[in-house]
Amino acid sequence: MEYDFKNSYMSISDKIEINIDMTRLKGNLAKARQNLVYQIISDTQDYVPFQQGILSNSAHTENDDSEIVYNTPYARFLYMGKLMLDDRGSSWALKNTRKHVVNKDLEFSKEAHSKAGAKWYERSKEDNLQNWIKTVKRSFK
């Protein structure tokens, strides 16, 4: 222990070792992350374009539940909501053919998912953020 006397006050320095078992906290954090991503997937379903359900049903988590992935070849095109055509002008590209973005917005059917459209995560977040926060808080009770 060290003492330092300066003018009208005294300073004391000491080393104190505290050991904290973080096992429970780490478990709660993992549970919160898992609960959150599954809540996001659930709350976002109605925003995902739906024709046959392949895109919507492809949603899953990766990287220890830290990322949500929609695993179809066309997911990113639908997410951006822009028409993409190959060099022939077809949206049905042949194998090994590249598509390019055309400045035309896609039109999404609302028959199966009433809020279907581009950038479904951002729109869902705008509507559901408070619910997501509550989901995380419940994980620590």
Q: Is 40 within the bounds of a domain?
A: no
Domain that holds residue 124: 48-141
- pLDDT at residue 2, as a whole number: 61
| Percent with pLDDT over 70 in the chain | 91
Residue 12 lies in a domain: no
Task: Confirm whether 93 is domain-assigned.
Answer: yes
- CA separation for the pair 59, 100 (Å, rounded): 25
Do the domain assignments include residue 107? yes
Domain total of the chain: 1
- Across the chain, mean pLDDT equals 88
**How many CB atoms within 10 Å of residue 120?**
24
Q: With respect to residue 8, please indicate whether it lies within any of the assigned structural domains.
A: no
Flag whether 65 is in a domain: yes
- The percent of residues in the chain predicted with pLDDT above 90, rounded, is 55
* 55: in domain: yes
User: What is the pLDDT, as a whole number, of residue 91?
Assistant: 79
Task: Give per-residue pLDDT as tens, 91-138.
Answer: 777 778 888 888 889 999 999 999 999 999 999 999 999 999 999 999
The answer to whether position 19 is within a domain reads: no
- Residues 48 and 123: their CA atoms lie apart, in Å, by 10
Position of tokens 């895109």? Answer: 55
Q: pTM for the whole thing?
A: 0.76
